[in-house]
Amino acid sequence: MNGQHLHRRASSVTLIVILILWMAGPGFLHASEERHITLLEDGEYFQAFMRAVDGAKSEIVMSFFLFKTNGYSTNRPDRVMAALGRAVERGVRIRIILERGNGGEDSSVDASNRETAARLREKGINVIFDSPRVTTHTKAAVIDGRYIFLGSHNLTNSALKYNRELSVCIDSLPLAEEVLRYINSLDE
């Protein structure tokens, strides 16, 4: 399979998971928990994600295939990075796992993630890379152990401003625990 086919397949799987969660109803959560799921189309993701990061009180854990900053304050990923820096200043713990390319097709992904990792580390943010033996194609964040952002959005200016993308924000403590468990397994 070529890289483009794998990307389409992974995006399709992500959308299927989102739809299953959306349609699953209250049965997939504990009966006593009220769930809240917000569909985030295209640029809505950026606004919602920024509000959540700005409101974070204790912890942000993220895993992204691509986080591409360029050093310009108008670039949306750079605005996300600035918000993460402000969160660190407020005492929020942040841990980010990024894709480490294997030197083949993904070398531009690897270069972009390494540049961004250096900028994030300057702000006191803990950044680690996945194993080069496997592609981590996730686009997920858990904020304060409760708010889950999951979907097709990478942290690139194209994804956050121009592309047709679809993600969800889910307010669920039990599901957040499961997503955190998964993200934390990515660096093992």
CATH of the domain at 19: 3.30.870.10
Say what the pTM is.
0.81
Strand order in the sheet with 139-143: 36-41, 166-171, 147-151, 139-143, 59-64, 93-98, 126-129
Share of the chain above pLDDT 90, in %: 71
Up-side HSE of residue 104: CA atoms within 13 Å toward CB? 8
The number of distinct structural domains making up the chain is: 1
> Measuring CA to CA, which residue among 179, 182, 107 is closest to residue 143?
179
Lowest pLDDT segment from 25-34, 45-54, 57-66, 151-160? 25-34
Partner residues linked to 36 by β-bridges: 171
Q: What pLDDT, in 10s, does the model give residues 90-138? A: 999 999 999 987 765 557 999 999 999 999 999 999 999 998 888 999 9
Domain assignment present for residue 7? The answer is: yes
Rounded Cα distance between 120 and 56, Å, is 17
Q: What pLDDT, in 10s, does the model give residues 14-52? A: 656 555 555 555 444 444 455 699 999 999 999 999 999
Rounded mean pLDDT of the chain? 87
Domain assignment present for residue 30? The answer is: no
Residue 3 pLDDT more than 80?
no
> Measuring CA to CA, which residue among 126, 67, 69 is closest to residue 94?
126
∠ at Cα 65 (136, 151), nearest 5°?
95
Amino acid, single-letter form, for residue 103? G
121 within 8 A of 160, measured Cβ to Cβ: no
Domain assignment present for residue 29? The answer is: no
Domain assignment present for residue 28? The answer is: no
Query: By residue range, what is the domain housing residue 135?
Result: 3-23+35-185
